[in-house]
Amino acid sequence: TNAPFWSLGYECIYYFFYGFVFYLRGWTRVILCFALAVAIGPQVLFLFPIWLLGCWIYDLYVLCQKKRYVSVVLVSALLWLVVSGVLLTMGYNFPLGPASIFQFIKHLPNPLELLGQSHLRSNMFAVAVGILSAVLLFVSLLAMNLLKISRSNRWVRGFRSVANGTFTIYLMHFPFLLLL
């Protein structure tokens, strides 16, 4: 009954893929990745690109740090979000706005259904949420760089203390609610 734990089985497999791709070479890499893909099946493999998107967003963030593109990318992303948000509140659906992109992705046919597979958590809604979350995460990371706060600030220490427990809270919130 603990819904947050379902993703751990998926994530563990994704880390194996990541290790195989980045640390192995030649046919060993190809054979192990193929064998793992066959072993886990289409359900788990379906959401792997969303997990990789998170890795790519972090790599892009690091690249932007090194190239000093932070301001340009941040201003562009924020402008895109503001313009599409304003148009959406005025009743217009900006064709390239987050809401339009989300709806478009969400309504794409699910490849698992086309293959006759059940899709459970592996659906296009999850893909749409993953893509939108990745964009918002990227913008948030860039925006946080503009804040200049000393690590010794008491607020920073307090937030770090709370943040250290967030994964545990994420995993245990449902059992605690059931207990209550």
> For 138-174, how does the pLDDT look when each residue is reduced to its tens digit (9 = 90+)?
888 877 777 777 778 888 888 888 888 877 777 777 7
SS3 at position 172: helix
- For CA atoms 75, 78, 81, 82, the dihedral sign is negative
Distance CA 140, CA 134 (A): 10
E strand or H helix at 152: none
Q: Which residues does 17 contact at the CB level (< 8 Å), separation at least 6?
A: 33, 36, 48
Q: At what angle do helices 98-106 and 70-89 cross, to 10 degrees?
A: 80
Determine how many CB atoms are found less than 10 A away from the CB of residue 162: 9
Residue with tokens 């545990």: 168
Instruction: Look at residue 46 and tell me whether its pLDDT is greater than 80.
Output: yes
Cβ 111 vs Cβ 105: under 8 Å: no
Confidence of residue 15 (pLDDT cuts 50, 70, 90): very high
Mean pLDDT computed over every residue of the chain? 81
For the segment 48-84, what is each residue's pLDDT rounded down to a tens digit?
A: 999 999 888 888 888 887 766 667 777 777 777 777 7
Confidence of residue 34 (pLDDT cuts 50, 70, 90): very high
Is the model more confident about 1 or about 168? 168
**Tokens describing residue 130:** 């993953």
Distance CA 93, CA 100 (A): 7
Query: What integer pLDDT is reported at residue 4 of this predicted model?
Result: 65
